[in-house]
Structure formats: C-alpha cells, structure tokens
Amino acid sequence: MRIGVSLEEAQEMLLQKANMVEEGSVSLMGALGRVLSQNIRARENLPAFHKSPLDGYALIAKDVEQAKPSHPVALEVIEEVRAGFVPKQKITPGTTIKVMTGSPLPEGADTVIKYEDVKRTGNSIYLSFPLKPGSNVIYAGEDVKKDEIVALKGTVITPSLVGLLAGLGIAEVPVLRKVRIAIISTGDELIDPAKEPCPGKIYNSSLYNLAALCGELGADPIVMGIVPDEKELISGHIVKSLEAADILITTGGVSVGDFDVVQDALRQAGANMIFWKVSMKPGSPILAAEKDKKIIIGLSGNPAAALVTFDLIAVPVIKKMMGLNRRMPPRVTAVLADNFLKSSPQRRFLRGKLQAINGTHYVKLTGEQGNGILKSMINCNALIDVPAGSGPLCAGQEISAIIVGNISDTFFEMEKEIS
Amino acid sequence: MRIGVSLEEAQEMLLQKANMVEEGSVSLMGALGRVLSQNIRARENLPAFHKSPLDGYALIAKDVEQAKPSHPVALEVIEEVRAGFVPKQKITPGTTIKVMTGSPLPEGADTVIKYEDVKRTGNSIYLSFPLKPGSNVIYAGEDVKKDEIVALKGTVITPSLVGLLAGLGIAEVPVLRKVRIAIISTGDELIDPAKEPCPGKIYNSSLYNLAALCGELGADPIVMGIVPDEKELISGHIVKSLEAADILITTGGVSVGDFDVVQDALRQAGANMIFWKVSMKPGSPILAAEKDKKIIIGLSGNPAAALVTFDLIAVPVIKKMMGLNRRMPPRVTAVLADNFLKSSPQRRFLRGKLQAINGTHYVKLTGEQGNGILKSMINCNALIDVPAGSGPLCAGQEISAIIVGNISDTFFEMEKEIS
C-alpha cells in the first residue's frame, strides 16, 4: 500500500486496475444514455435513394429553362406517386410526375418544383420560372454514406444518435452493460432521513447523494445502507457488496481514529490495500483497495469531502468501467469571482460554479468551503485547483478549475448570479 | 388560426396556453431529475448541534494557550464518546473528552484537537501547541439555518440536492408529476427501424428521436407509432393520444400537399387550430392546435426540421408544463467557426456545436444543413440565429446562438474539434 499519493497518482493507479464491463445489447427505444460497445457503421446509404424533400412535381430542368411569367412552360402529369410508393413511369421530355415528401425521384427526372409554385389545370402544370438542375433533390447517401462509421465505440447515446440509428434501420444497439456500484455508509452516528431525529445522530446524506450521482452517470447504484462502526459487520457488507457489484464505494471510517475501521474490515474481507491518503483538501483520508479484481474506494465521512473525491477519483474509474472514451474531467482557465482569504499549505479544491458573462468564464465560490458543508455542493460544477503553498486568492485573478458537474446553466442569468 | 407567425409569437402563444401538471410526491431515492413543486424549507439547523469534524479531543482553548513542544500541557481524559453517542460529562478546566467525527461538542468545550496531534499516556493527553478557540468545531446551523429555504419550487432535483435533502431528514419530496407526451409519426413512406428495408420506404427516425428527447427532458414519452396518411386514422390516434397524454407531438403531414392531412385530422378530432407556419427555416410548416386545454404541436416530416422546431417551440412549452423555472433556452454571443455561403432571405437556424477555446466561445457548424440531414443533429447543442435578409456568413464573424442541447463537452478536445 502507498500512503500519501498525489491526486494524479491516485487516479492513474485506479484507472490502470479498472476493467470495462461486458458487452450486451439493448433495443433502440431503451438506448438513451447507454454507451456504445462497438463502432456503428451504416449498412446502407441514408437516404437509400434519391428523393424529393417536398410535395411537388419531378421534372427535367432543361424542359423549363425558358419559363417566365409571360411565357409559362407546360408539362404533362403522367403519374401521381404517394409518399411511400415508387414511381412506375419514367420521365421523358415534356412530362412530369407528381411526388410527395420523401418519394423516390422518378427515373429521368433531375429536379423537383414545389406544389405551390406551379399552376395545375387538368393533366398539365404550368411553370413560370426555371430551376437549376438538382433543385429540391435529396441525393442517396447525402446524409450518411454506406459503410460510413456514424458513431464510435465508447460514445454515450444521445437523443440525436437514437434518431440517426433509427434512420439507419438499427433497432438493436450494441452497448456495454450498466456498471453496478455498491454503496455503504459506515458510522454509528448516522441515521436514515426517513427516521425521526435522535440526539447525537445525523442524517446520512452521502448514501443518497452518491446513489444519485451514480444514477446520473448512467450506472446502477446498489444501496447497501448504513453499517455501524464494527469491523465484522463492515467486512461482511464488503464481501456481500462485491458479490453483487462491479465496484464498491464506502463513506466514513477512513481516517486515523480508533473507530475508523474500514481499513481493518477491508483486510478481514480479503482485500488488498492500494493507497491511503491523497495530498489534497478536502477528502485526503480517501483509501483504495482491491479484491477479486474489483476496486473498493473508501471516501471520507465528511459529506462534501466525500463528494469532491468521488468526482475527482471515483468518477474517472467508473467512466472507464462504463467504457466511455472521455474519462477525465476537463480543465478550464477562468477568472475567480470571489475572494478566498485562507492560505493553502496543502493542495486544495474549492467548490465553485462556472459562469460565462459576456464571453468571459468566471468561477464563483458556492459558499462556505467546510468539509461538511452540503450547501456548497448545490450548484457546484467546477472545482478550483489551488496549488499547495498558495496564499489568499483575490477576486479577478486567473485560476484553473476542473469541471465536475452539470454546466448546462453556464449561460443562464449571468448578471444576477455574479455581483 | 393565425398563419405565418414569428418564432417568438409562436412560443408566446403556446406558453400562455400551457398548464402545469399536478403535484405529487416521491421518495428521496427516486427524486433525481424530478421538479420540486414547493419551496423546501429546513425544519432544523444543519448540523443540528455543535460537533466535531474529526476524531480528537474536545477541550477549552484557554487551558492550552501556553502549550509548546518544550512545555506540553496535560489534560485529563474524563470520557470517551463514540460517534452517534452523546457526551455525558461536562468539560471543566484541565479536562478533556475524547470525541469522534460527528460527535456533539461536550458542554464546556470550545475547541477540538486532532487525535494525531496529541500524545496520550494513560488517562492524560499532552498538547505541545495552542489552538485558537473554535478550532475544529462545526457549529449548529453552520450549513443550513432552521427555516432557511434551501431549494425553490421549479428546481430540478440534482444529486447534490438529493444529498442536502437527505441531510435535512427529508425522505419524501414534493414534486410535479411527470409530463406525459404522446408522439405520432404520420406518413405512408415510414417504416419502423426494426422492419426490413422496402423500396420507396424510409426508416422513421423522428419518433425515436423525439421519444429520447422527451426522456432526456424528464418527461414520459407515450409512443403511438406510425400512422398512414389517412385523415380518419390520424384523427382516431389524436383522440386516443389526448386521452392518455398531457400534450401531443406529431410529425409529418403539415405542409401544403394533397396528403398533408394532419390539419384535417385535427379538425375532425375536434381540435382548434392555434397557428400554422412559423417564419423560419428549417421547420416552417409547423402547426399548433388545442383540444380540451391540451396542446398539439404538428412538426414537419423532415427529421432535422422537426427537431429544430421541437427544441425551439415544443421544449419551452413542455418545460412550463413540467413546472420548471427556466423555460426558454439561453442565448449566447459567439464566433462562427466556419463559412456558411448561402444567403438567408428567411430567418434561418443553423445547427452548430458550442466550443470554448482559450476562453472564447465558438460555434462550429455540424455539417450539411439540409432539412433531412440527421447527421447535422449529432453534436448539435446550439442553433445559430441568422436574421432574415442576411448574406453569406464568414468564419470569424460574431453570431448569436440559442443553446438547445447538452453543452457538457464545451471544454473537451478544443484543439482537435476546430481547425
């Protein structure tokens, strides 16, 4: 076991040990948010045939090149094709076929004119302007060429990708199985939020928070519940968790006090320690172990500390197991929007919110930065990386931040949120 | 019915008619992604009592103000408290109580020293440095004050909010019911992606794409399937959809051709038309109607056109029905990363991807912009708003874009994605 590693060492050690879960498949209607286990290649052109993008008349452009309002050109309507049907006739000079949105372009035609842009009398249409050849034609393969790779292995399936796969006739999608993440909270002081308050006890937030984070990542949380600070009990839960799950996250019991029993319980469960303590604040007492090629990450009992280390250390591991191409959170250079007056002898991560104002990125602190302050995690989507040995930080200075949460509201209510 | 309205008029007309769904409640473990139907107020302080953030010894700071390595100060350990238990004794000068992470601060104590920072011999501990009063104490209400509002009605429940609600002992959460969105695809040319390819037929992508978008929004899609271009059949499906759903989205059958039957079917179903045609490209033939206070939005049969208008017109309506505070997509000023050489006589929305490079926001076009091009929707998270009457656009010029998709990868692979 290594004691006292850097954040990057901790990430690297665990990423090397993390194994991708196995492959399966899912029907397209249930594929949203899943991760592709194979590259997706188009079996056919999309569209599969030249077609009309609108309701109109297919024709030969050369036939109407002299058309003008004073001298309309007439074409004979030889067929009317409904969408979903195939034209039976071939277009020859002087003739036209009525087509619908999505109709295959009739043989011989090179152009389509909108329904509204012609005058029809009996079996003839009259055009009062010419069209460039190819106008209003969607060519076969215009969207996707046959054999083109439309999505790479490791991609998360978005709504647009669901649409594209549907368009390509792919109804069953190769995906990786969902990662199963067991979560145990240790601590005699913890009670479930559904219980009545009790002197000296605190409501367990981490179990719920971590389960929700796992759900948001697209994994299946297995909530093992609260376990008292007893080595035997914790060890039993560790063994049971690893039977059901691909990875285990615990909270509490990892620092140096008498009742910090997770390390002992891990040894009793037959796990090998990987590291203990990462040089960062908050969350430094984090530990990692391994049993039967499954990773166990022991987070601090302090809720905010647990969440910061979960984001920075556990999430990349889970993303590798999920098969995601992008595992590491992106880093951004931004302007600090507040003062932070403490010095940082140790490397420190401050919880903040990324905001874009008039094209500049700011990170605003999300309130008090104590280890236990849950409120600081609300709206937190960026962790400011303050190097060890830094003095106080001033509003306006440039900082480096790691994006860990949802940045979808970066462009919302900019003025109000930063004073 | 109004024919030919602006995008903003269309949005406004429908937002005025949209009704929020009713209130319910959900257990906290299932609350992720749901929308709060009430403000959440803390019933108690969080934490509920002064407590220790670490395993250590509670003491009176004044007792140890003279401590130094050469003259350690001794304190008598009068009790050892396990986490989750309450100290029985009171601290008086010269005494200390051993506390665990989360233990209530014993009466009389004002400070805690870390377990590792003292030397213990028998019933005495020795301190070789002083501490400021209040060191290592978490005060009651430090995180959340009793009666404080921690989350507003209309907020989407994030993992951090799940954690905070757990910490406050809120196990049952007041939320709005999920919005039920029926989706019908009309068109004789459409077949389901699970079917074998067939001449003249195309795979229906919109139904799948829209269902996935509804799922991503946090709504329940009700997939009604493909209906042929027959007024009676479509009308029957409209009536059935509105019995099951809060809102209905259709695709196809909305332009001016013979077989564009959705308008007739709506009238037959007893719906009143609200508007038809919005001055924008793509997606202009969109229509909206109303029956029994439920909104029906008819999108174009062209997949990309349907999606652009869904994002700009249907999503704000759905968000109002969901009870969200933020309904309208945010707008951002950015630099265009590509040329777009067509003129835009009509207002036009170009599909693009927002990227941040060295602090500057760019929007890169996501490929061919044809009405039917599904590939252009992959990676699209921003729609460039090109005013009517614009000439060609050049890379480097400033544009205004509406953010409609997931911008979580704005900071990923910046260099590679924009040349």
Q: Do B187 and A85 touch (CB under 8 A)?
A: no
Q: At what angle do helices B315-322 and B206-217 cross, to 10 degrees?
A: 40
Chain A neighbors of B188, CB-CB under 8 A: 82-85
ipTM, 2 dp = 0.92
Architecture category of domain B56-127 in CATH: Beta Complex (2.170)
Nearest CA in chain A to B413: A330
Chain A neighbors of B373, CB-CB under 8 A: 142-143
Q: Do B330 and A411 touch (CB under 8 A)?
A: yes
Nearest CA in chain B to A376: B143
Domain at B2-21+178-322, CATH from 1.10.760.10, 3.30.930.10, 3.40.980.10, 3.40.640.10:
3.40.980.10
Closest residue to A83, CB basis, from B116, B211, B229? B229
B25-43+147-176 CATH? 3.90.105.10
Element containing residue A10 per DSSP (H, E): helix A7-17
DSSP B313: I
Residues 6 or more apart from A71 whose CB is under 8 A from it?
A: none
CATH topology of domain A331-417: Beta-clip (2.40.340)
* Cis peptide, bond prior to residue B282, ω within 30 of zero: yes
Cβ atoms within 10 Å, residue A253: 31
Closest residue to B208, CB basis, from A28, A203, A410? A28
Query: Count H helices, E strands: chain B?
Result: 8, 24
Chain B neighbors of A169, CB-CB under 8 A: 193, 195, 197, 203
Chain A neighbors of B200, CB-CB under 8 A: 49, 84-86, 103-104
Q: Is B349 in contact with B389 (CB distance < 8 Å)?
A: no
Q: Do A162 and B258 touch (CB under 8 A)?
A: no
Residues 6 or more apart from B401 whose CB is under 8 A from it?
A: B331, B332, B333, B334, B352, B354, B363, B382, B383, B384, B385
| Identical fold, A56-127 and A331-417 | no
Residues 6 or more apart from B295 whose CB is under 8 A from it?
A: B14, B17, B18, B247, B248, B274, B288, B289, B317
Residues 6 or more apart from B108 whose CB is under 8 A from it?
A: B60, B90, B91, B92
Q: Do B260 and A55 touch (CB under 8 A)?
A: yes
Closest residue to A215, CB basis, from B32, B374, B377? B32
* Chain B interface disruption, residue of A101, A118, A142, A371, most B CBs within 10 A: A101
* Cis peptide, bond prior to residue A47, ω within 30 of zero: yes
| Domain spans of chain B, in order of start | 2-21+178-322, 25-43+147-176, 56-127, 331-417
pLDDT by position in tens, chain B (length 419): 999 999 999 999 999 999 999 999 999 999 999 999 999 999 999 999 999 988 899 999 999 999 999 999 999 999 999 777 899 999 999 999 999 888 899 999 999 999 999 999 999 999 999 999 999 999 999 999 999 999 999 999 999 999 999 999 999 999 999 999 999 999 888 999 999 999 889 999 999 999 999 999 999 999 999 999 999 999 999 999 999 999 999 999 887 665 679 999 999 999 999 999 999 999 999 999 999 999 999 999 889 999 999 999 999 999 999 999 889 998 999 999 999 999 999 999 999 999 888 888 999 999 988 877 889 999 899 999 999 999 999 999 999 999 998 888 777 644 343 32
Chain B neighbors of A410, CB-CB under 8 A: 407, 410
Strands (E), B92-208: 95-99, 111-114, 119-121, 124-127, 149-151, 172-176, 180-186, 190-191, 202-203
Q: Do A32 and B199 touch (CB under 8 A)?
A: no
Residues 6 or more apart from A16 whose CB is under 8 A from it?
A: none
How confident is the model at residue A76, as a pLDDT? 98
Which stretches within A114-268 are classed as H helix?
A: 159-167, 206-217, 231-244, 262-268
Architecture category of domain A24-44+146-176 in CATH: Alpha-Beta Complex (3.90)
